[in-house]
Amino acid sequence: MIAYVIRRLLHTVLVVFAISLLIFFSIRLTGDPVTVMFSAGEPTKEAIEEVRRNLGLDQPLYVQYLIFLKGLVTFDFGESFRSHMPVMDLIMERAGATLALAIGGTIVSILIAFPVGIISAVKRGSIVDFFGRIFSLIGISFPNFWLGIMLILIFAVNLKWLPSSGFEGPQHLILPSITLGMILSGILARLVRSSMLEVMNQQYVSTAKSKGISDWAVIIKHAFRNALLPTITFLGLQFGSLLGGTVIVETIFSWPGIGRLIIDAINQRDYPVIQGGVIFLAVIMVVVNLIVDLSYSLIDPRIKTGGSGRA
C-alpha cells in the first residue's frame, strides 16, 4: 500500500508539472495583459514598459516560468495583476463556495440516481424500469443552463420560495445543487442499473438467495456493494470535475466559485490567477482520483491497490 501511494504521489508531481508547463505558455498566447489594463486610453511606451517591469513581464519566459515553478512548491502563485492580492487568498475565498456546490450536486445526484438505478435493475423489463430509463435519458439530455433558468423562474421568481443568486446561506445552495445533481443523476442512474444487472447474474448472489436471505438483503448487502466499484470511480472523477466545471451554473446563479474566478481572470488576462486556479483544481482532481483508487480495497478486499498498476 505504501509503495503504491508513493508511486501515485510521484505520478501526481509529474502531472502537475506537465499542467504547469501547458497553462503557463498557453495563456501567454492570448496577448499582453498590460494592453488590457490601459484599454481606456492611449498610454505612452514608457508607461507600458514601467507596468511590465513592475509585473515581471519584462523578463525572459523561461525566467518567469522558473519563478512560477519555485512558488508552486509552496503554493505561492504570486499576486493578481488586477487586485494585487495574493492569488492563494483569492482562491481560498472561492474554494468554500465551489466545494459546497460540488458536494451539494453530488448528494442530490446520489439521492436520485441510487434508488432509480437499483429499482430499475431489480424490476428489469417492467414499467418501472421503462420510466427509470426515460428519466435517465431526460437527465442526460437536459442542458444545465436551461434547467437552472427554469428553476429560477419557478421557485425564485414565481413562487418566491428560494433565492436566485448569491451564496449567503444554505437556502442559496438548493437550486444550484439541484441543477448540477439532476444532470449528473441521469448518467449515474444508468451506470448503477447496468452495474447491478451485471452483479446480479453472479454465482455468489444466487448462493446468497439459496441460503434463505431475503431478496432486498441480498440486493443491498451483496449485489449493490459490489456494483459500487464503477460507481465510485465515476463519482470520484465527476466530483473532481465539478470543482472546476461549474462555470455555467456559477454564472447563472451568480455563484462566487473558483470557476467563475478563472473565467473573470481569463477575460482580464490575469496570468497569476489563471495559473493558480488551474493548478489548484488540477491538484484537487488528482488527489480525489487517488482517494477513489485507495477506496477500492475497502469496498472489495479482492482488489489489492499495491498490485493494481492503476495510474
**Which residues sit opposite 189 in a β-bridge?**
none
**Residue 298 pLDDT class (50, 70, 90 cuts):** low
Average per-residue pLDDT for the chain? 82
Of the chain, the percentage scoring pLDDT greater than 90 comes to 11
Q: What is the CATH number of domain 96-256?
A: 1.10.3720.10
Residue identified by cell 504547469 is: 20
When mean pLDDT is compared across 79-83, 141-145, 254-258, the lowest value belongs to 141-145
CA 291 to each of CA 31, 61, 104, 236, 240: distance values in angstroms, whole numbers, following the listed order: 38, 36, 19, 8, 11
pLDDT at 141 over 90: no
- SS3 category, 163: coil
pLDDT at 307 over 50: no
Other CB atoms within 10 A of residue 294 CB: 14
**Which residues sit opposite 86 in a β-bridge?**
79
pLDDT tens-place string over residues 66-80: 999 998 888 888 899
pLDDT at 299: 57
Mean of pLDDT values over 27-55: 77
Q: How far apart are CA 83 and CA 7, in angstroms?
A: 39
Mean of pLDDT values over 196-218: 74
pLDDT at 16 over 60: yes
**Residue 92 pLDDT class (50, 70, 90 cuts):** very high
Q: How far apart are CA 299 and CA 48, in angstroms?
A: 59
- Written as nine digits, the cell of 177 is 445543487
- Written as nine digits, the cell of 167 is 451564496
pLDDT at 229: 75
Domain locations in the chain as residue ranges: 2-86, 96-256
Pick from 295, 300, 129: nearest CA to 224 = 300
